[in-house]
Structure 1
Amino acid sequence: MPIGIDALEIAIPDLYLDMTDLAVARGVDPAKFHIGLGQDQMAVSPASTDVVTLAARAAAAVVERADEADIAALGLVVLGSESAVDASKAMAVMVHGLLGLPEGVRAYDIREACYAGTAGLLTAVDYVAAHPGRTALVIASDLARYGLGTAGEPTQGAGAVAMLVRQDPRLLIIDPASTARTEDVYDFWRPEGESVPRVDGHLSNRCYTAMFARVFAAHREASGLDVEDYAALCFHLPYTKMGRKALAGVLTPEEAEARGLDHLHRRYDESLIYSRRVGNCYTASLFLGLLSLLDHSDLRPGDRLGLFSYGSGAVGELVTATVVEGFDSRRDPAATMTALDARRRLSVKEYEAVLTESLEPVGADISSTLLPDGGPYALIGMVDGVRRYRMP
């Protein structure tokens, strides 16, 4: 039976910083950010917006779009993130409570850097295959923060995606025959107790492109599929230029033109529309690109997509998906663009104050936080280590 994604929704903070403003403030040529990194805007999360609230917003959108019977059949809630707010309790359990989901489910988190969202999706596919008639809710939610004036500052961002996985999906069928590789390397890590990660940027870039080359070669050998068999290739996007480098490693623009495969580079550009305006959201980044592709490309039912997931440390996997008849009725591109356009643009001074405050320990009452989240879910404080949230 075909199993895959029936609904896919996004949640982003209500604030953003324009990359030109950041470049001017840091004494950098704006082209370094807009062209060198491929980023135009950066989502900014106030202290009242955390991984749980973003996850809840994305999951609530999926619940609203899903059939009532699919929510009643829910058996698994899994959340992939590298921005955990508790060392023991799963954020999936917190989201489950905020949304009032059915009690008879498994709920837990998965962690392996930016790969965790893909791990959650494949776990959900396996769960549905083993439990016919049940459904699964998969969430990927993260805050990418490196601190003011750091090398990683222009590659920050925040966001969440949520997916409903079921049999006979109406958006994408996931092929269970994916290809993965793992290598123990310290290209990006965050020691316990530290609020921002440590990064070896040059090593991480090399690991990413080398991992894609190895995974793609292994997948080609195992499946017989090569670049010409794909309608589009989507990538994990720490910044949008990164995936372009990986794609060029297996198919340069010149080779694509000579072989009549220009659509792969064109559709890569179409997969960047949301990411250029949001920035890095770790586990959700691959799926943000997938959403952009589905919303802005001329894909057709039956088209095969390649989805490359990468998590530093490092794990890489290539997943194959097939576009389903009527997929466009399961998305609302105008609503996503409206949400992006409705965000508040911060000055650099406001951004610096918001980021600094968001990295501080959560107090008992943060209702007076700078530029509080006006969405349906918000962090309002923490008492005795227990996080308290506002909900509808």
Structure 2
Amino acid sequence: MSTATVGISGFAVYLPPYRVDLRQWCGWTGTPWDKIGSVVGTGFRMPGPDQSIYTMAATAVLRLIRQYDVDPARVRFLGLGTESSKDNSAGAVIVRGMLDEALSGQGMAPLSRHCEVPEFKHACLGGMYAVKNALRFLATEPGDPLAIVVSADIAKYALGSSGEPTQGAGAVAMLLEKRPALLEVDLAACGSASAYRAIDFRKPMVHVPGSGVCLRETPVFNGKYSTICYLDQALHAMRSMFQRLGRSSRDYLRGVKAVFMHRPYERMPLNALGFSYLAGLAVEAGAGQAEFVAYCAAAGLDPGQVLAEMQAEPGMLALVHKGMPGQEPWPLGMRLLREFRKQAAYQELVAAKLRLGAGRMRELGNLYSASLPAWMAAGLEEALAEGSELAGCDVLALGYGSGDAAEAMPMRIVPGWDAAAERIRFAAALAPVRDLGREDYTALHMRSGGPRSPGLRGEFVIDRVGSSSTAELADEGVEYYRYIH
């Protein structure tokens, strides 16, 4: 492990109360429930009219401070990871402002005046980029400072689009420090990968003549192409990590206790981990090569042809220029993956590694940058409930952001982790819940009404939005917030 011991000591989660039941949604839209239930999940959350990524982020951070008895004056880094910013100038400092006011109102010290407040944006990877930079800060900063990273997002897709059932909203705050209480991160061995993919998933500004520039709430995306990009970048990030660790992929993936990945929908991490495991076997000698050949034989495939395909660069940007972004670059590899799913080894080496917390994640939908940290929080709490002894076990966190880029972060669960895991309170964050009917769902989606937040204690809400553009006061579009005690 790295000489500088840094990592994660706590998680806190905030989810808005408004829930869409995907079985009911299938009834509204005529979509087959069997497919949605097996591939996507069971539900997702939506923000209310008086909520934003900033209110959700601030609520999650305040919960973190309370749940872990954090001294705000020690917090020297507050990072916000999001792709749902409503302000193109200010970032985490907005969250800081809400926190300072609420903390002062409760007789507590505000965050340190010397606290850094950066915002990180790269699709769904912004939160993990923030974590990596916060860990670098801790590794080089003298003394005993604390860092907090909060990932907050609203995943919104157009009504009737293929992405509609994969929506979601929420925030996850993480406490990072030296000598962590939960997860030690091997910062020196983290693997990175990135490549420009043009139309994978974008939110371009839309210019409307006569009205200036506005932000786009729903993405431009190409579903099949995005899936291919995820597989490719996850594979390259893991290869980078294995090289830095000095370990073979087969050795590491067989030994790791749990894997947590960015989760746009339930099936995606299963496919990515399974494909990466097979691609690792393809280039190994000895037992790894023998295992690869056996899977190829079961699928009726020539191992040499599959290996050549997996080693070739897929050239996905070229597919875009040809107007064929959905063309499969690994037809043989996908056939091999389908056969691998039928093997008992798949359950042991893929499904079992992704088991912890997976059931609860079926309820959350896609949280974009908050998806991976939410899964980590859910998984650690589930392991605690099961009485699992995880001290000293390796876990892998793999973040991904469309466009695209990935980070593979090897971690190790520290002794005494259960005391910190007891404070996560993921299950408690799932309540309260208000299931939406079709009319309220549509109204919230279209911003044409819908139920307002119930005004629960301990939450931040948007109090009002500025509308002045006079010489004396200009605050048009600026949100003002209120904390409900």
Q: CA deviation at 1:128?
A: 0.7
1:178 equivalent to 2:268? Answer no
TM-score normalised by the chain length of structure 2: 0.74
Contact 2:12 2:424 in 1 (8 A): no
Alpha carbons of structure 1 residues 194 and 171: separation in structure 2 relative to 1, 3 Å: same
Q: Which deviates more, 165-174 or 334-343?
A: 334-343
Contact 1:59 1:162 in 2 (8 A): yes
Alpha carbons of structure 1 residues 341 and 163: separation in structure 2 relative to 1, 3 Å: closer
Task: Name structure 1 gaps, 5 residues minimum.
Answer: 361-367
1:385 equivalent to 2:477? Answer yes
**Offset from partner CA, 1:136-163 (integer Å, 9 cap, x none):** 1111000000122221100000111111
- Name the structure 2 match of 1:206: 228
> How many angstroms apart in 1 are the aligned matches of 2:344 and 2:389?
19
Alpha carbons of structure 1 residues 296 and 129: separation in structure 2 relative to 1, 3 Å: same
Map 1:13-52 to 2 at 5 A. 13-37=16-40, 39-52=41-54
Alpha carbons of structure 1 residues 88 and 183: separation in structure 2 relative to 1, 3 Å: same
> How many angstroms apart in 2 are the aligned matches of 1:299 and 1:142?
33
Which letter does structure 2 place at the counterpart of 1:128? L
Contact 2:254 2:349 in 1 (8 A): no
Q: CA deviation at 1:35?
A: 0.6
Which letter does structure 1 place at the counterpart of 2:93? V
Map 1:239-388 to 2 at 5 A. 239-251=265-277, 257-258=344-345, 262=348, 264-297=350-383, 298=388, 300-332=390-422, 335-357=425-447, 370-375=451-456, 376-383=459-466, 384-388=476-480
2:257 alignment partner, one of 214, 231, 234: 231
- Name the structure 2 match of 1:165: 176
> How many angstroms apart in 1 are the aligned matches of 2:258 and 2:381?
13
- Secondary structure of the 1:216 match is helix
**Offset from partner CA, 1:60-102 (integer Å, 9 cap, x none):** 1111123444x32211111010000101111x11111111123
TM-score normalised by the chain length of structure 1: 0.91
Alpha carbons of structure 1 residues 149 and 373: separation in structure 2 relative to 1, 3 Å: farther
Q: CA deviation at 1:284?
A: 0.6
- Secondary structure of the 2:231 match is helix
Q: CA deviation at 1:263?
A: 6.3
* Percent of aligned pairs sharing the same letter: 26
Contact 2:12 2:426 in 1 (8 A): no
Q: CA deviation at 1:265?
A: 2.0
Q: CA deviation at 1:289?
A: 1.1
**Offset from partner CA, 1:208-257 (integer Å, 9 cap, x none):** 01111222223223313321231111110011111011111134766984
Contact 2:258 2:356 in 1 (8 A): no
- Name the structure 2 match of 1:99: 99
Alpha carbons of structure 1 residues 256 and 293: separation in structure 2 relative to 1, 3 Å: farther
Alignment length (residue pairs) = 379
> How many angstroms apart in 1 are the aligned matches of 2:424 and 2:126?
28
Contact 1:46 1:355 in 2 (8 A): no
- Secondary structure of the 1:106 match is coil
Contact 1:267 1:293 in 2 (8 A): no
> How many angstroms apart in 1 are the aligned matches of 2:259 and 2:8?
17
Which letter does structure 2 place at the counterpart of 1:122? K
1:87 equivalent to 2:177? Answer no
> How many angstroms apart in 2 are the aligned matches of 1:307 and 1:77?
21
Task: Name structure 2 gaps, 5 residues minimum.
Answer: 101-110, 206-214, 278-336, 467-475
Contact 2:440 2:450 in 1 (8 A): no
- Name the structure 2 match of 1:148: 159
Which of the two has higher C-alpha Rg? 2
